[in-house]
Amino acid sequence: MHPAPDVSILIPCYNAENWISQAIESALTQTYTNQEVIVIDDGSTDNSLAQIKSFGDKIFWETRPNQGGNAARNRLLELSKGDWIQYLDADDYLLPNKIEQQIQFLAEVPHTDVIYSPSVYEYCNDGQPRQEVLPIPAPHDPWILLARWYLPQTGSPLWRKQALLDVGAWETNQPVCQEHELYFRLLLNNKQFQYFDKAGSVYRQWSESTVCKKDQSFTRHHRLIIEAQIEQYLNKKGELTQDRLQAINQARFECARMEWLKKPAQAKQIISSIQSSDSSFIPGGEAAPKSYQMFFRILGFEAAERIAALKRRI
């Protein structure tokens, strides 16, 4: 029997005084005991550092001037000793058996590099916290999941340390879509992904000023860059199946619908890129009900949007 692998729980923190203690507690109280907890304070100006220090020698910590989340994640990776990595953002937390369950699953898929699972999404509604599981729908083709933005937030996976090192870890110049850009490079380098169906990480959404929420048009711009890279790579490799192409263009279409509300010219450019990619594309899913699909097919995107706006007003 192989010995239980060591896991490093890595927590970058910047101005998270409301959450950092819970994040660290959730790491320390994992039922899996072959672990270490490392925290980097990335130049916080609030009370975060004092809370980190309060855990004493239960954790290893370091503080430094602010350099951004990905630089902090890379420094944490340098400090880690485990063969497997659990990242945890300072405003999120883990359920007690998260790591134990994924390590047990690893015994069934020993050659995998990333074990990914659904996340629990926690948000406030009328001042009361609410939770729901964010599902990861089939098929569990990681290329389709990446294109559809279904691969989960940073705290959900268990990452093989060597796989992260092989691809150069986190891109420090990536302003948004950071885990998606990393997922892309891992897939580009043939790293193996395995789906495990138990949710064990809690992704807390408490502010509209987080990195991905601040400027959603900017975030969509970077998402579309990744979508184009996925299509180009799969096409070059001869692995661009119709299902994968549909997923990429469905993602573009959903971005276009959001852009149309404030930047219609940009939305039309996105639709043009879809038509260049697949002239027979018809959108689906919740973003395109049957009536919308009919107008899109017969009259085109712009007319379908104007009719949809008219129906909303009525």
Domain 7-213 of CATH type 1.20.1730.10:
no
Q: Residue 69: what pLDDT? A: 97
Q: Residue 267: what pLDDT? A: 97
pLDDT at 126 over 80: no
Q: Residue 124: what pLDDT? A: 84
Is the CB of residue 264 less than 8 Å from the CB of residue 271? Answer: no
Cα separation, 308 vs 292, whole angstroms: 7
Q: What are the structural domain ranges in the chain?
A: 7-213, 215-307
Q: Find how far residue 308's CA is from the centre of its chain.
A: 30
For the stretch 129-188, pLDDT in tens is 899 999 999 999 999 999 999 999 999 999 999 999 999 999 999 999 999 999 999 999
- Supply 221's token pair: 């711009």
For the stretch 264-288, pLDDT in tens is 999 999 999 999 999 999 999 999 9
For the stretch 34-79, pLDDT in tens is 999 999 999 999 999 999 999 999 999 999 999 999 999 999 999 9
Of 209 and 52, which is predicted with more confidence?
Answer: 52
Is the CB of residue 33 less than 8 Å from the CB of residue 11? Answer: no
In terms of Cα–Cα distance, which of 246, 243, 151 is closest to 191? 151
